[in-house]
């Protein structure tokens, strides 16, 4: 990438819900979002887990909007009293909430489908049907995200600092295909599948402090990221470090060769090599 080209955005994840922090439910979004990004040669830069507290959600969203990041926010976009994400999204932007016309049409179609499945006549004035339209009340200017599971959409908002937050439900069966669609429809130009490589080697009994100068040297000499994953009680390798580099394949190949040369110069005991 030339210096005149803008840097690719970082990807972030916000997971919202008291049920996650209380342990009532185990989070499944973090590993899945990592998987969805990695399948496209992308990576997650940061993640946050928040309870259903408006001030914290608003602050986190304000920070995301002010960044240049692409952020996925999972949870809290329903219309029950413990769902605050839509209101916090508007507060963080300093804008009003309004019923999105396309969301209204999708929600109404969902209600008509449900009535038909039950053999009932759709009644738009029934209180529960009227209440369901609140799920389409989004910050003014939001764009909807289609929901293939039940039509109830999510939404996307751009911040003044260049950050974009994509809001999806907390239910994995809805959230994951919605996130996947956003990645493929909005960010296909960033996909690096087949153009991103990670190579590493197990270094037996090594100390990170001893290898740090070599790691710094590799990063100075090559356009790659060096990573070090220490383990003290692995059932096969015992105490060891998985040391590697990641980046564009050509750069990784050269950098990894230099890394191995440097490790051998340290008389390091090398184990298996891995490619991802």
What architecture does CATH give domain 197-275? 2-Layer Sandwich (3.30)
Measured in degrees and rounded to the nearest 5, phi and psi for residue 203 equal -110, 115
pLDDT tens digit sequence for 118-150: 999 999 999 999 999 999 999 999 999 999 999
Handedness of CA 87, 93, 99, 100 (dihedral sign): negative
CA 179/CA 113 separation, integer angstroms? 25
Quick check: 193 pLDDT over 70? no
pLDDT of residue 35: 95
pLDDT tens digit sequence for 51-85: 999 999 999 999 999 999 999 999 999 999 999 99
**CATH 3.30.70.1120 segments of the chain:** 197-275
CA 112/CA 171 separation, integer angstroms? 22
Quick check: 2 pLDDT over 50? no
Closest listed residue to residue 72, CA positions, set 117, 122, 112, 36: 36
Cα angle value 136/142/63 (rounded, 5°)? 115
CA 44/CA 100 separation, integer angstroms? 30
Quick check: 5 pLDDT over 60? no
Could you write out the DSSP letters of every residue in the chain? --TTSPPPPPEEEEEE-HHHHTTSS---HHHHHHHHHHTTT--EEEEEEE-S-HHHHHHHHHHHHHSS-EEEEES--SSSTT--HHHHHHHHHT--EEE-HHHHHHHHHHHHHHHHHTT----TTSHHHHHHGGGGEEETT-EEE--TTTS--EEEEE-TTS-EEEEE-S-HHHHHHHHHHHHHHHSGGG--TTS-EEEEEEEET--HHHHHHHHHHHHHHSSSEEEEEEEEEETTTEEEEEEEEEESHHHHHHHHHHHHHHHHHTT-EEEEEEE-
Closest listed residue to residue 77, CA positions, set 178, 170, 149, 146: 170
pLDDT of residue 8: 77
Per-residue pLDDT band at 41 (split at 50, 70, 90)? confident
The single residue listed with the structure tokens 């911040």 is: 159
pLDDT of residue 7: 64
Model confidence, pTM = 0.84
pLDDT of residue 6: 52
Contact 20, 34 (CB under 8 A): no
Indicate the fold that domain 11-190 takes in CATH.
Molybdenum Cofactor Biosythetic Enzyme; Chain A (3.40.980)
Quick check: 263 pLDDT over 60? yes
pLDDT of residue 234: 86
pLDDT tens digit sequence for 219-241: 999 999 999 999 988 888 889 99
Contacts of 1 (CB under 8 A, 6+ apart): 7
pLDDT of residue 215: 96
Burial of 226: CB neighbours in 10 Å, binned 0-12, 13-18, 19+: buried
Contact 85, 76 (CB under 8 A): yes
Measured in degrees and rounded to the nearest 5, phi and psi for residue 140 equal -60, 130
pLDDT of residue 194: 66
**CATH 3.40.980.10 segments of the chain:** 11-190
């Amino acid at each position: 990438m030339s210096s005149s080209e803008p840097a690719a955005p970082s990807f972030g994840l916000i997971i919202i819900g008291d049920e996650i922090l209380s342990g009532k439910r185990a989070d499944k979004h973090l590993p899945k979002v990592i998987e969805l990004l990695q399948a496209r040669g992308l990576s997650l830069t940061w993640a946050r887990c928040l309870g259903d507290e408006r001030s914290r959600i608003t602050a986190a969203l304000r920070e995301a909007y002010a960044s240049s990041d692409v952020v996925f926010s999972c949870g809290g976009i329903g219309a029950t009293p413990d769902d605050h994400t839509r209101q916090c999204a508007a507060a963080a932007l300093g804008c009003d909430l309004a019923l999105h016309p396309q969301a209204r049409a999708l929600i109404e179609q969902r209600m008509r489908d449900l009535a038909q499945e039950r053999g009932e006549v759709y009644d738009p004035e029934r209180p529960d049907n009227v209440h369901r339209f609140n799920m389409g009340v989004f910050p003014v200017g939001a764009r909807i995200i289609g929901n293939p599971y039940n039509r109830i959409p999510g939404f996307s908002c751009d911040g003044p600092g260049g950050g974009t937050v994509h809001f999806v439900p907390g239910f994995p069966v809805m959230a994951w295909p919605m996130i996947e669609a956003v990645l493929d429809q909005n960010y296909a130009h960033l996909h690096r599948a087949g153009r991103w490589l990670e190579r590493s080697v197990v270094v037996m009994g090594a100390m990170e402090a001893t290898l740090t100068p070599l790691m710094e040297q590799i990063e100075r000499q090559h356009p790659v990221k060096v990573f070090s994953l220490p383990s003290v009680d692995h059932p096969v390798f015992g105490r060891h470090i998985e040391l590697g580099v990641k980046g564009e394949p050509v750069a990784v190949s050269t950098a990894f060769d230099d890394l191995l040369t440097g490790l051998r110069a340290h008389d390091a005991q090398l184990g298996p090599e891995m490619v991802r």
